Chains A and B, each alone.
Chain A
Amino acid sequence: MDIESKLELIKSVGEEIITEQELRELLEMKQHPIAYDGFEPSGY
């Protein structure tokens, strides 16, 4: 997948991205950047 398509996909997930420019640079630099999502286990 090219950088533009990756950016499009991530922009569809991020209602806000801080910053898009840094995201672009990250995608250019790394093929597989690491992300995290955190959850408080608090019932269903």
Chain B
Amino acid sequence: MPFGVFRPLLLKDMQKAGIKFKLWLADWFAWINNKMDGDLEKIQKVGEYFIEVWKAAGVKDVEYVFASKSMDSEYWKKVILIAKNTTVSRATRCLTIMGRKEGEMAETAQYFYPMMQCADIFHLDVDITQLGLDQRRAGMLAREVAPKLGWKKPVVVSHHMLMGLEGLKTPEGFEQNKEMDASISSKMSKSKPNTGIFVHDSKEQIKEKISRAYCAPRDIENNPMLDYSKHIIFRAFGTMKITRPAKFGGPVEFESYEKLEKAFRMGELHPMDLKNAVAENIDALVKPVREHFEKGKASKLYEFVKKQKITR
């Protein structure tokens, strides 16, 4: 859901503001990060599948670029120039962008990763980097090296990390800022199946996962349901309807997230009713993507991806 539903919504809003997008399919990065068993061919096929997901989610007018097809000698020159202007300790601090902690790092290849991600920004000649908060350190490194190398300094626009279904987790040390660290440590992640909803989940699966999700009455801080309402449902629909029996207050419609949050904080909205509404709305957004993969070329791609072991 983070990449199949949430990011397309963000991207469309950025496009409304006149921003043009390049979507970088970081196949060599996944290879370094040992995704899909570290098999580059499999990774590239999953890249094709990603493009199909975004098309199904209604993403239009973007340029898709596969990293492996774009990395020429000019690219590698930038990688080296960045590395020459980055101390080893600075590079080490950047390694968290791979979603791993320092103790998990074992291969020198992993040190290439932040240097490459930084080079992407200059190689693609972008004005803005628009990735998740968990990637902010790459953007910050780019801003540090840009003046030294006489390159354009990017504006770093980092989006929210959707909370996992289980709610807030103990911060694992991805960021110095405690709030950011908690947010990154608690994110919905495809490598941790219990934390997420997937674009191929049936309506029943979505309902079942949401019924198990963490949602304590009146708690507005640690609440994945409110998180999805704010960042997905209100962004997509601008409003949220709650259907509930008359004896529990009858149907109600919230015209802003703030009003929904207030009602929940005051105990005027029961977690069960909130969960039902979240499940209905999320399903409405997942449905076109799910159905797109039920036939044709897309279904074959999905079959391939499904067969693979997701390594992390």
**Chain A contact residues, CB within 8 Å of chain B:** 1, 5-7, 9-10, 12-19, 22-23, 26-27, 30-44
Q: What separation, in Å, do the CA atoms of A10 and B123 have in the docked complex?
A: 23
- Chain B's nearest CB lies how many Å from the CB of A15? 5
Q: What separation, in Å, do the CA atoms of A42 and B27 have in the docked complex?
A: 9
- Chain B's nearest CB lies how many Å from the CB of A36? 4
- Chain B's nearest CB lies how many Å from the CB of A5? 8
Q: B200 at interface (Cβ–Cβ under 8 A)?
A: yes
- Chain B's nearest CB lies how many Å from the CB of A21? 9
Instruction: Give the residue of A6, A27, A37 whose beta carbon is less than 8 angstroms from that of B130.
Output: A37
A18 & B191 in contact (Cβ 8 Å cutoff): no
A26 & B120 in contact (Cβ 8 Å cutoff): no
**Chain B contact residues, CB within 8 Å of chain A:** 3-4, 7, 10-11, 13-14, 16-27, 29-30, 33, 35-36, 43-44, 46-47, 49-50, 53, 117, 120-121, 124-131, 133, 135-136, 139-140, 143, 153, 155-160, 180, 190-191, 198-200, 235, 302, 305-306, 308, 310
- Chain A's nearest CB lies how many Å from the CB of B258? 13
- Chain B's nearest CB lies how many Å from the CB of A39? 6
B44 & A41 in contact (Cβ 8 Å cutoff): yes
List 30 A-B residue pairs with CB atoms under 8 Å apart, sorted by A's residue number: A5-B17, A9-B13, A9-B17, A14-B158, A14-B159, A15-B133, A15-B160, A16-B156, A16-B158, A18-B139, A23-B128, A23-B157, A34-B126, A34-B127, A35-B22, A35-B126, A35-B127, A36-B124, A37-B21, A37-B22, A38-B24, A38-B117, A41-B35, A41-B44, A41-B47, A42-B36, A42-B191, A43-B308, A44-B199, A44-B305
Instruction: Give the residue of A13, A26, A39 whose beta carbon is less than 8 angstroms from that of B26.
Output: A39
- Chain B's nearest CB lies how many Å from the CB of A14? 4
- Chain B's nearest CB lies how many Å from the CB of A25? 9
B20 & A34 in contact (Cβ 8 Å cutoff): yes
